[in-house]
Amino acid sequence: MIKKILFTAIIFNLAIFSQECGEGYSYLMSLPDNINNINNDNNCFYENDLEVLDSIYIINNLETAYESYMHMGLQTWVSGRFTTWVATYVPNGQNGLTSKLDQLPYNIGDLTNIAGLYLEKHNLTNIPESFSSLTSLVSLFISNNWLTSLPNDIGNLSNLQTLDLGYNQIESIPESIGNLGSLEYLFIFNNQLSSLPNSICNLNLDWDGISPANYPYFASGGNLLCDDSLIPDCVLNSTNFNISMEQNYYSFLLEAPQDCMDCSSLGDMNGDGGYNVLDIVSLANCVLGGNCVDLENGCAGDMNGDGGYNVLDIVSLANCVLAGNCGS
């Protein structure tokens, strides 16, 4: 009888809490330790925010890694809204995710109160266009992924102050970036950028500055920004044009010149303008040593353009030297 009374009381209390949640909010009875729940004594959480986390949980097959989507990373909720997610890949730690994300769901744009997103060191190759709806976003850290592009309307993120895109594969920056009027830090180093939109000069950045914490306010080193006509003056004249940061923890600044090696003369390994047995020997030696990419003209050894250096390249170079038609 006593057990029945206690059980009835628990159900009754749950019903009271559930009824206190407003429209669009759901009651969660217990929360894991990774949740920082602020100004939300009734444990009412916005359903759209929960659905986004659930989508991330499902499409990345995280069921075996986490008990539920509420266990993923360090989460801060304020008044039932999701505001900060520390989801950096940390394989052996607790301050992030122990499994990598492969994709973000299209409904991520429903996280309209999110202010801080930390998504470093995953396998993300793209960002959904709906991302441009995250107008409360203040800090976006998404370095060390495999991004090749950004949403066209990224300029809609009017409250963004920090945008860290370092160590990706981004090939272009949308014209709309010039609309990020609140931006204070922009890291675009170590990507595949060969040009930048003129609108980037609309940003109110300290193009030459380094913060007291030894972070550049802007840095673009380690790209392919080699043609001055494709680089806006604010970037070209920046003292941080060839600056990057140490990859894993951003613990110190690095000198990172643009990758402007001319590989138009395939096979000319020593850069002397000719093609002979010396080039063949140089290519053979670096293939055996596995260090062709480290040579000054190493890229000239990729004779078949497959991105690698092997015996097929050596054979191609030897054949064209013998035929006297290298460079034609």
Q: Domain spans of the chain?
A: 24-255, 261-328
User: Rounded distance, CA 218 to CA 223, Å?
Assistant: 14
pLDDT tens per residue across span 54-105? 999 999 999 999 999 999 999 999 999 999 999 999 998 889 999 999 999 9
Q: What is the DSSP string of 153-205?
A: TGGG-TT--EEE--SS------GGGGG-TT--EEE--SS--S---GGGGGS--
Mean pLDDT of the chain: 92
83 contacts 115 by C-beta, under 8 angstroms: yes
CATH 1.10.1330.10 correct for 261-328:
yes
pLDDT tens per residue across span 213-242? 999 999 999 999 999 999 999 999 999 999
Provide the pLDDT confidence category of residue 279 given band limits of 50, 70 and 90.
confident
304 Cβ contact list (under 8 Å, min separation 6): 312, 313, 316
User: Rounded distance, CA 228 to CA 194, Å?
Assistant: 10
pLDDT at 266: 86
In this structure, what token pair is assigned to residue 157? 């993120």
pLDDT tens per residue across span 205-214? 999 999 999 9
pLDDT at 135: 98
Torsion of CA 85, 90, 93, 96, to 10 degrees: 0
CATH 3.80.10.10 correct for 24-255:
yes
